[in-house]
Structure 1
């Protein structure tokens, strides 16, 4: 395909899959349960954190987290004694366990009480350099500054060490991209969609390679940068909209 044909193909698939009817089977269904900004952010961040493996399991375990918070994540995280976090000691999602979950809740408590929340933290990191890579890294430094166990640190991606940061990039897509179709939220106004990076996973990576959009074989940050740069050729203002196209082609069409 020529570049114009490829762009038209991806635009068609983007329009097909960027639709609310696909929300039910996607982790974004968890923050979509809420209307309060802070509830959406916390629910979205936790759902994105455990978004690897089978999607029904991801959604079931994310609902479990919300249920234990009384479906009031912001109130639960920021109010009352921290001893209530102990109930999450039995939580397990793949390698993310109760130790990790309890630390995440403690870190979110500090961030919303003392750092003006997740939006302020990511925005400050991004605006420091204009780079989403550094924005994620600076967020990671703050998030892991409350003395986590070593095992917990691997659950916050570090793009400076080559991680694709798929789940954080997905969360950022949810928060930043506009809400015109009722899928992403468009809550954060000071990070432009043009700066977002692709949430690269096995499905989108394989499809991107088949379409000639990605040459790098590893799904690491260099591949994220290569693919996002290529997609900016098709839409410089909103390159990660093609996440819907590549993921939909891989998961729903087995492209």
Structure 2
């Protein structure tokens, strides 16, 4: 395929997967339970954090986590104290456990009380064509409170060569307004043009097969390469192609 044929092929696949039917099999269904901006943000952030491994398990644990937060994540975060830690002791998803969850809730409380919330924190360090420096600075702020060393592994740092798949996915959810009811588009201070594709094994493998990506590792350098290729096809909304790459990999075994 030449470049115009490839764009046409991928645009068609975006239309196939970027629609409400996608929600029922994806972790994005968890923040879709809510209508309050802060509930959507916090639910989205927590679910994106545990979004690795079996998708059904992610979704099941996501629903369980929201129930533990009283199905009101923002209110729970803002009123959270160490006294409630015991009520979370049974939560675990792979290597993310109650110790990590307790710190995440304390840090989110700090972010909303002292840093203007999640959107403000990411927007503050965003660059014209990249959110990766903003993710780096976000991690520094997220761990500014005393914290267990083990918990740091659950937030990736692009400046340490991570593709930061889960945070890039969370940013796509918050920033992109797809008019299809999948991504939320509730963060108006950041443009979709600044976003990066959530690069994982599925999107990476498909991108290599269609020659959008040459680098073998799914790291920050590969993400930069993929971003450049996707921005050539649609500079205003490059990460819409995440739907095509992910759909081709997961649903079509491309």
Same fold (TM over 0.5): yes
Pair 1:85–1:113, CA change in 2 (3 A): farther
Post-superposition offset of 1:89:
2.4
In the alignment, does 2:245 pair up with 1:252?
no
* Secondary structure in structure 2 of the residue aligned to 1:126: coil
My pick for the range that moved more, 141-150 or 72-81, is 72-81
Cα distance in 1 between the residues matched to 2:129 and 2:29: 30
Partner of 2:54: 54
Partner of 2:150: 151
Cα distance in 2 between the residues matched to 1:70 and 1:141: 29
TM-score by length of 1: 0.97
Mapped contact 1:47–1:62 kept (Cα < 8 A): yes
Post-superposition offset of 1:204:
0.3
Cα distance in 2 between the residues matched to 1:82 and 1:2: 58
Number of matched pairs: 254
Cα distance in 2 between the residues matched to 1:143 and 1:247: 29
Task: Tell me the C-alpha RMSD between the 2 structures.
Answer: 1.1
For structure 2, the 5+ residue unaligned runs are none
Post-superposition offset of 1:86:
3.1
Structure 1 residue ranges, 4+ long, deviating more than 2 angstroms after superposition: none
* Secondary structure in structure 1 of the residue aligned to 2:239: helix
Pair 1:234–1:67, CA change in 2 (3 A): same
Cα distance in 1 between the residues matched to 2:61 and 2:234: 35
Partner of 1:198: 197
Partner of 2:219: 220
My pick for the range that moved more, 217-226 or 85-94, is 85-94
* Correspondences of 1:76-115 after superposition (within 5 Å): 76-79=76-79, 81-115=81-115
CA deviations 1:97-132 (Å, max 9, x no partner) are 1111110011011111111110010011215x7631
* Correspondences of 1:126-145 after superposition (within 5 Å): 126=126, 131-145=130-144
Partner of 2:231: 232
CA deviations 1:69-107 (Å, max 9, x no partner) are 110000011025332133222211111111111100110
TM-score by length of 2: 0.98
For structure 1, the 5+ residue unaligned runs are none
Post-superposition offset of 1:147:
1.5
Pair 1:81–1:103, CA change in 2 (3 A): closer
Pair 1:244–1:80, CA change in 2 (3 A): closer
My pick for the range that moved more, 82-91 or 134-143, is 82-91
Mapped contact 1:77–1:109 kept (Cα < 8 A): yes
Cα distance in 1 between the residues matched to 2:86 and 2:160: 32
Cα distance in 2 between the residues matched to 1:115 and 1:77: 14
Mapped contact 2:130–2:195 kept (Cα < 8 A): no
